[in-house]
Amino acid sequence: MVKKDFLSLEGFTKNQLDQLIKEAIVLKDERSKGLLRDTLKGKSIAMLFEKPSTRTLVSFDVGIYELGGHTVTLPSSSLGGREAFEDIANTLNRYVDAIIIRTFHQDSLERFSKAANVPVINALSDKFHPCQILADYQAIIEHKGQGHLKVAYLGDGFNIANSLLQLCSIVGYDLYIATPIGYEPHKDHVEAAKVAARNTGSKIIISNNPYEAVQGADIIYTDTWTSMGLEEESHVRIPLFQHYQVNSHLLVEAKPDAKVMHCLPAHRGQEITNEVIDGEQSVVFDQAENRLHAQKAILISLFK
Ligand code: CP
Ligand code: NVA
């Protein structure tokens, strides 16, 4: 069901995403009973990270090991202009069965995808973080079951917001994104979500009003105000984003049983307070755990 590559959620149907989550939930249950599969026996997978990672790198490494495969993690300097992306991809084609890559620019990912004749998985780019959002969908299903939900996203209209636009428009959740002026998601991603939403009835609302976004929400999601690679902008961003902090005052506007989500790493005291991230409504470590199970489901689907 996952085609050659897994670069974003574009083109997936709700049924296909639900099948992946169903598989991820079975894999989670099997693992809790000590049962592991050998789908990747004899397979080697290269991992390239242009920027730091804790969750993505470890969950892929452990997940591939648990499926019987082997990983090779290249030093980030391999991607640092030593040679063309196409030459790296063409070389890896001769050694490995798949490539997992985290890049600064979507363009680099797409160049890799074109040059590679093995599957390429997006481990985060400036446009999308599909592995994260699939794991998050698993957490939402586990906590809320199937059904219509209102999702509020507060903060920067960057990779996580773009992937949420894809997810919500595909599965039929209403998505309210509130960002400071000038930090809205790119109109191309919003338009694409609105087109997908025509089939599912999901409402896609982009505003600069965090209270309106959170009103009656089932899910409140936030991400760092300063993504990796944009650190020099943080002194400009921090004052502009203050009203978008997920804190206890804002949380009371949501449904009493709303869940709070964050992809991590979190900047405690900026986009989210300690009280909220450590509070009862937070599911952030379930999201982190599900990276392992959801990514195994993606890998199994790629190698079927
Ligand atoms: N959420 C996430 O992708 O975390 P890492 O940057 O640690 O991989
Ligand atoms: N938007 C964040 C996500 C980290 C998982 C970043 O790109 O740094």
- Segment 46-60 shows an average pLDDT of 97
List Cα–Cα distances, 103 to 52, 79, 123, 129, 290, in angstroms. 10, 9, 8, 11, 22
Q: What is the pLDDT of residue 277?
A: 98
Residue 291 annotated in active site: yes
The model's pLDDT over 119-173, given as tens digits with 9 standing for 90+, comes to 999 999 999 999 999 999 999 999 999 999 999 999 999 999 999 999 999 999 9
Indicate whether 82 and 174 sit together in one domain: no
DSSP three-state, residue 190: helix
Distance CA 184, CA 71 (A): 37
C-beta 53 within 6 A of ligand 2: no
Give the residue numbers spanning the domain of 275: 132-285
User: Which pLDDT score, from 0 to 100, does residue 187 have?
Assistant: 98
Determine the residue type at 184: E
Provide the pLDDT for residue 80.
81
CA distance 152 to 28: 27
With a 6 A CB cut-off, is 284 part of the ligand 2 pocket?
A: no
Tell me: do 152 and 97 sit in the same domain. Answer: no
Q: Is 129 one of the annotated active-site residues of the chain?
A: yes
Please report the pLDDT score of residue 3 as a whole number: 73
% of residues, the chain, pLDDT over 90 = 96
Instruction: Name the catalytic one among 55, 129, 189, 293.
Output: 129
pLDDT in tens, 161-214: 999 999 999 999 999 999 999 999 999 999 999 999 999 999 999 999 999 999
Question: Residue 1 falls within a domain, yes or no?
Answer: no
Q: Using pLDDT thresholds of 50, 70 and 90, give the confidence band for residue 300.
A: very high
- CA dist 188 and 206 (Å) reads 13
CA of 241 to the centre of ligand 2 (A): 16
Based on the fold, state whether residues 34 and 138 are members of the same structural domain: no
- What is the CA(100)–ligand 1 centre distance, in A? 13
Q: Is 227 in the pocket of ligand 2 (CB under 6 A)?
A: yes
Cα–Cα distance between 204 and 78 in angstroms, integer? 40
267 and 163 fall within a common domain: yes
3-state DSSP assignment of residue 262: strand
Q: What is the distance in A from the centroid of ligand 1 to the CA of 127?
A: 15
In a domain, residue 4? The reply is no
pLDDT score of 146: 97
* Residues 24, 99 within the same domain: yes
Burial of 41 (0-12, 13-18, 19+ CB in 10 A): exposed
Q: Which two tokens stand for residue 279?
A: 């509070």
Please tell me whether residues 217 and 255 are part of one structural domain. Answer: yes
Q: Count up the domains in the chain and report the number.
A: 2
In this prediction, residue 154 carries a pLDDT of 98
Question: Is the pTM value of this prediction over 0.85?
Answer: yes
Both 267 and 294 in one domain: the answer is no
Q: What is the pLDDT of residues 72-131, one digit of tens each?
A: 999 988 888 899 999 999 999 999 999 999 999 999 999 999 999 999 999 999 999 999
